[in-house]
A and B are shown apart, each in its own frame.
Chain A
Amino acid sequence: MTEQEVVALINSSLAEEFELDLEDMDADADIFDDFGLDSLDIVDMVIVLESAFKFKIREERAIRKIRKLGEIYTFVLGKLNEAEQAS
């Protein structure tokens, strides 16, 4: 998967799950202030990302500290790289 494809999949998955507008999916967007998500949404977000990328991240503390959409891109790309190197 290219970086662009990863970003596109994150955007579409989150937009569908949280009924967001794809046009608002900007790397600098704050997921709490701009998208109106809250701590309970993070539980859903983790499951959405796991389902989209077929990895397990629910035990990762880093995901709970994320605020910007761009940080989600970085986090997911990092996890995918880790998985690729491990295999």
Chain B
Amino acid sequence: MSAGETTGGAVMAAAERYRPRAILMNLFAWPALVVWTLVGIVLSPFLYLGWKVVTGWDVGRITRHLIWVYGRVWLLLFAPFVHFRREGLDGIFDAPPGILIVNHLSFFDTYCMGLLPIHDINFVVRAWPFRKLFFYTAFMRNAGYLDIESDGWDDSAAICREVMARNGWLIFFPEGHRSRDGQLQHFYSGAFRTAIELEVPLIPLCITGTDRLMPPGRHWLLPSRVRLRALAPVDPRNFAGDTGHREMRKHVKALMAKNIDEMRSCDAG
């Protein structure tokens, strides 16, 4: 096997990169994504109006729904080359909303949130996506996504409280950026503090396979198996006191690490 890039323990050899299916995927999936994104941007004002008339929802909710639909169509576009699998999602989203956290391996992790059966999700993100993903910025702002880095803790906490009060969901990527080696990185505390402060359950989501699909530093897509597993909700009341968020963070990180290892070993086997 020739030297290749290493992500999440997977070595991508040149032979694998230039297999006919991988070439076909790159010839189809990238153009399809660009076309779908442009079509979505052009159609969005009309869809806003249509949704508004039909549902009466506010701009934020309509945008979050359109983003979810965008993710769903992305799943369809990539489905000929990527096997998507959902685990443990049944019943979780019938309960009152909470905070979702997910590990981060690839640019496409956010698109994979289209696998979730709910659309009313506010992403909590860093400042850079608002600055650099210029073609998405307007949608992110309209959707009410939180810029936790610029808004600061107090304002972000207030917005999180509002989201929960209207039965919306929040999603955090607690590592803050994509893992370069596939392993879980240091978790920021925001999601855990928020869960404790708002007394809402925290649902860890584990994702695998997107580091093979497209890890940081590579734009060449590879056919993959992507799995999204929801773990049982974690009750913040079990983590009281000033250092409760740290205990909760350690507990959840250990749970996620165990499940990610298990998911990867199943795929390897």
Q: What residues of chain A have their CB less than 8 Å away from a CB belonging to chain B?
A: 16-19, 36, 38-41, 43-44, 46-47, 51, 58
CA A18 to CA B186, docked complex, whole Å? 8
- Say if the beta carbon of B90 comes within 8 Å of chain A: no
Main secondary structure of the interface of A (DSSP, over half): helix
A41: chain B residues within 8 A (beta carbon): 188
CB distance from B243 to the nearest CB of A (A): 7
Q: Which one of B126, B242, B246 lies within 8 Å of A40 (CB-CB)?
A: B126
Closest chain B CB from A80 CB (angstroms)? 18
- Give the interface size bracket for B toward A: 10 to 19
Is the CB–CB distance between A43 and B246 below 8 Å?
A: no
Q: How far is the CA of A36 from the CA of B180 in the complex (A)?
A: 15
Shortest distance between the CB of B180 and any CB in chain A (Å): 13
Q: What is the distance, in angstroms, from B156's C-beta to the closest C-beta of chain A?
A: 9
Please, which residues of chain B bring their CB within 8 A of the CB of A17?
Answer: 189, 246
A19 nearest in chain B by CB position: B186
Give residues in B with beta carbon < 8 Å to A: 126-127, 148-149, 152-154, 176, 186, 188-190, 193, 242-243, 246
Question: A-B pairs with the 10 shortest C-beta distances?
Answer: A44-B189, A51-B242, A40-B176, A40-B149, A43-B153, A40-B188, A16-B246, A39-B149, A47-B153, A44-B188
Given contacts A40-B188, A44-B189, A44-B190, 12 further A-B contacts (CB under 8 A): A16-B243, A16-B246, A17-B189, A38-B176, A39-B149, A40-B126, A40-B148, A40-B176, A41-B188, A43-B148, A43-B190, A58-B153
Q: Give the one of A18, A36, A39, A46 with max B CB within 10 A.
A: A39
